[in-house]
Amino acid sequence: MKDDFLTNHSSFCQSGQKNPAYALPSAIAAFDLFQKRISPRRPAVFLDFDGTLTPIVPRPDMARLSWAARTVIAALAERCLVAIISGRDRLEVENLVGLQHLIYAGSHGFDVILPDGRVPEHSGLLTDQACLDRAFSTLRHKLASILGILIERKRFTIAVHSRNVPPEHVETIRSVVRQVLEEENPALKLTKGKMVEELQPNVDWDKGKAVLWILKTLNVNSREVMPIFFGDDITDEHAFTRLKDNGLGVVVAGQTDYDRLTFADFRVENSDEVMTVLRCLQECL
């Protein structure tokens, strides 16, 4: 029986409520409560990559998934559905993780394909790359003089990273991104993350909708399976909100992020604690 996860969710679910991360129970210290929220259903695990499976690094090309983390994920994937939903290109994150029997979604869920080849209906709308090409060229030209700037042209998005930029130039970057967005209106939209701004196709889609599409398309029954999303970034809030009625969100928030407001249900401190929770889940299955 198909169980429709695509219920009446807005981009930020009105039935949910934001809480500071420090007020959330730890998924490790309160693992009994975490497990109780799942039981008697089985978990379906959705994982962000950067900042969740790996620590945040100065440049995206420096990220590496540890052997220990890969081992935990592989063991869990033998027992339940596991998917990686990343801002990176799908093929890139697939190569970084290097595991079969997982579902991979890139570009914040815009680039998602199931093992049998099925893709979301909107995928046909993303074939025109001209606006992204123009925006990328303009951004490189206007921001070329800023020290530490990193502009990534991904398959369906453009990421403008300011992590290594002197603070006095960050507002300039934001202003230029807004100008380019206006020039390409209405073809593109803006999504903000931690020290990154991304231009994306102006399609009603995000990580949360990608998760729900995967669940629905695979005929996952919500009475039998509990979807759980682990993520650290602002973009992961879409997944937390869309799972608010039918799943769990676990935010990765260390001490510097304790005051962050989030729709998640539990928290962990870092990627090592994510692995601890995944290991505990695997042992319970």
Residues with a known catalytic role: 48
Taking CA atoms, 199 is separated from 63, 117, 152, in Å, by: 22, 26, 10
Residues 6+ apart with CB under 8 A from 92: 106
Handedness of CA 125, 48, 282, 1 (dihedral sign): negative
Amino acid at 192: K
Measured torsion, CA atoms of residues 272, 23, 264, 96, in degrees rounded to the nearest 10: -20
Give 20's strand partners. 261
